[in-house]
Amino acid sequence: MNQEQNKTVTNVANNEIPVPNTNNIPPGPATVTNQQPTQQSEQPSNILVGSPGVVVAPVSSEPTDASSADKGRVNGIVRSATETEQTLSHTTMINPTVVTPRVEITSATSSPPPPVVEDTQEESIPKPLPKKSHKAGVFIFLLLLIIAVLGYYIYQDYQKDLARGECSPLVASDNTLRELDINSSIVQELYDKIKTTIREDVAYHNFDDVFKLYLAYRQIPTSDIYESNCNLFNESNMSNFTCSSSTNFTPTAFKEETLQREVRKLFGESISIPNQNIVLGNSCFGGYQYVAERGEYVQGYCGQIPTTTYNVDKELISATVQGDTITLRENVRYYSAEGITNDQLQSGVYVHTFKLDNSYHYAYVDRTIEAS
């Protein structure tokens, strides 16, 4: 009995039976062996097709019953009662190739990089534009900074004008008369603009255009006065003054619009005073000649030293506001040497009147003298 089984297995191994590719696996190289069957090959083993050493059962040309209990079995050699013995010339061996991933390790401590996981959810969500938002934030910050700086300078300029009396909250809604502190900044600012010294009083005492131009000249900032030359200076138009290169004298000058600006600030926007030489009588006070061809006031040189034999006591005694008008009252008393008289010097109470104009400047509008 054993000899017949060995003979049957040998005949099966000598035939080549093609194996259908049911798993869509690319066919690998088949190994055909002509080996004598051993005792182990006679016993069927329950292993799957594709494993090394699997012997494929012979395919019968007879119709197969679909209800057979052995349908689809390839575990071993399948025989039926009506099946005739067939011999196979070759035994088909399937040796599948196992492919393993190749990992290169560069060092003992390094590990393979983690797999990259693509996040499709994040790609579907539109990402914000950080650069544009950053630029918008910088622009808003700079705009706020500029507004803050401008506001600060406007406020500071307002405070300066308020201290000078150019923007005053003193205007009352009614017409009541109120006393002001004579030491307040607005009162002292106005008083400094119009008070004079004894030498100026002796040189010229009339309240006219010449005196107003002189007071306006005193308000010009030193930054608006510059060194100039004696070109077109007419010495015959100003007694006691000269302008020549032989005197080693470098005159100063200022623009005529500079003087007119100070005239409007001191006496009001509506006032108009014609340009003329600035000098108090025959004294050396002022000493600027108006040169129309140059549009400038040019300084002349005066060699006299102003002297006087008079003294004066001046005191600001009160300051009041009524509506848009501020009034300063100044007590003035002149003293002269024995035997010397000057009809221009009048002692008494000098009343200086200022009125708020449309440019919020307190304009110097009048000066009167009351008996003491």
Instruction: Write the secondary structure of 99-123 as one string of H (helix), E (strand) and C (coil).
Output: CCCCCCCCCCCCCCCCCCCCCHHHH
CB atoms within 10 A of CB 25: 10
b/e burial code for range 262-278 (CB count within 10 A of at least 16 → b):
bbbbbbbeebebeeebb
pLDDT given for residue 123 in this prediction:
53
Residue 97 pLDDT:
52
Neighbouring residues of 147: CB distance < 8 A, sequence distance ≥ 6:
none
CA distance 234 to 245: 14
**What is the three-state SS of 28-83?**
CCCEEECCCCCCHHHCCCCCCCCCCCCCCCCCCCCCCCCCCCCCCCCCCCCCCCCC
CA separation (Å) from 179 to 10, 144, 347? 142, 43, 24
Q: What is the DSSP letter of 260?
A: H
Distance CA(13)–CA(326), nearest Å, equals 136
Instruction: Supply the DSSP symbol for 283.
Output: S
- Spatial distance between the Cα atoms of 160 and 154, rounded to a whole number of angstroms: 10
pLDDT tens, residue order, the chain (372 aa):
444 444 444 444 444 444 445 444 455 444 444 444 444 444 444 544 454 555 555 555 555 554 444 444 444 444 544 444 444 444 445 455 555 555 555 554 455 556 655 555 555 565 555 555 677 888 888 889 999 988 888 887 777 655 554 445 555 556 899 999 999 999 999 999 999 999 999 999 899 999 999 999 999 999 999 999 999 999 999 988 999 866 788 999 999 999 999 999 999 998 999 999 999 988 999 999 999 999 999 999 997 777 788 999 999 999 999 999 999 999 999 998 777 777 789 999 999 999 998 878 899 999 999 986
DSSP letters spanning 177-217: EEE--TTSHHHHHHHHHH---HHHHHH----SHHHHHHHHH
CA separation for the pair 29, 92 (Å, rounded):
10
Angstrom distance (rounded) from CA 174 to CA 223? 41
The residues, any chain, with a CB within 8 Å of residue 266's CB and separated by 6 or more, are 193, 212, 215, 216, 219, 363, 364
Q: Give the Cβ contact number of residue 100 at 10 Å.
A: 5
Q: What is the pLDDT of residue 155?
A: 83
What pLDDT, on a 0 to 100 scale, did the predictor assign at position 305?
73
pLDDT for res 308: 80
Cα separation, 160 vs 180, whole angstroms: 19
Question: Exposed/middle/buried for 22, CB within 10 Å: 0-12, 13-18, 19+?
Answer: exposed
Answer yes or no: pTM beyond 0.85.
Answer: no
Task: Output phi, psi for 359, to 5 deg.
Answer: -100, 15
Per residue in 21-51, pLDDT (tens digit) is 544 445 544 444 444 444 444 444 454 445 4
What CA–CA distance (Å, rounded) separates 277 from 241? 12
| 6 SS3 class | helix
